[in-house]
Structure 1
Amino acid sequence: MAHYRGSESKREQFRRYLEKSGVLDNLTSVLVALYEETDKPNNALDFLKLHLGAAGSEAADVEALRTELAELQQKCNLLMEENKELRNKLMQYEPSPENGAAE
């Protein structure tokens, strides 16, 4: 019987933790929104993720990172081309190490 009370106490502590952190309120409001949907979504889990903010923020972050990656790749390619051109110009004005060693 003491074991039952101990686990009940842990459950009660966990429930208070969830309540204090706002998890229960958020879950309740999302579940109520799902209940009030006239056209129920095919995937309830996606609905929950979207309305809890998990899916939306990740999607925005991923899109921003993809955009940044594309921009940085383009900048890198431009810098590589510029580097190549500058090396070619430099080779016109400086003798190659082989010619410089012979003199």
Structure 2
Amino acid sequence: MSFKPIDESKEDFRLYLAKHGVLDALTKVIAKIQRLQPENPLEFLSANICTSLCLQETIKDLEMKIADANQEIHRLQKENERLKQQQMRFNHK
């Protein structure tokens, strides 16, 4: 039994695709094609890859908005605590 040596440039390209989620995205859509057997698999592939990319962008955007909102909540909690302490000092005078 003989093994073919791995073509380094092909392996580098495979790693690049895997790193950026391309292989995973394609595998998921191809599995969906196998399961659903759409009339036009290429059109289905194109539509589903685009949908996947749009969803990823939307998720990233929402994650950034959540992080910003959490920072604002933290800032407002600090401000609220400061104002409560100021009010307590004012009421004790």
Match of 2:65 in 1: 68
CA distance in 1: counterparts of 2:81 and 2:67, whole angstroms: 21
Q: Which structure 2 residues correspond to residues 1-103 of structure 1 after superposition, within 5 A?
A: 43=27, 45=29, 48=45, 49-50=48-49, 53-95=50-92
| Alignment RMSD | 2.2
Which 5+ residue runs of structure 2 have no aligned equivalent? 1-22, 31-41
Structure of higher CA gyration radius: 1
Which 5+ residue runs of structure 1 have no aligned equivalent? 1-40, 96-103
Percentage of matched positions with identical amino acids: 17
Report how many residues are paired.
Answer: 53
TM-score, length basis structure 2: 0.50
Higher relative contact order (CA 8 A, sep 6+): 2
1:43-75 superposed Cα distances (whole Å, 9 cap, x missing partner): 27169221xx21011000000000000000010
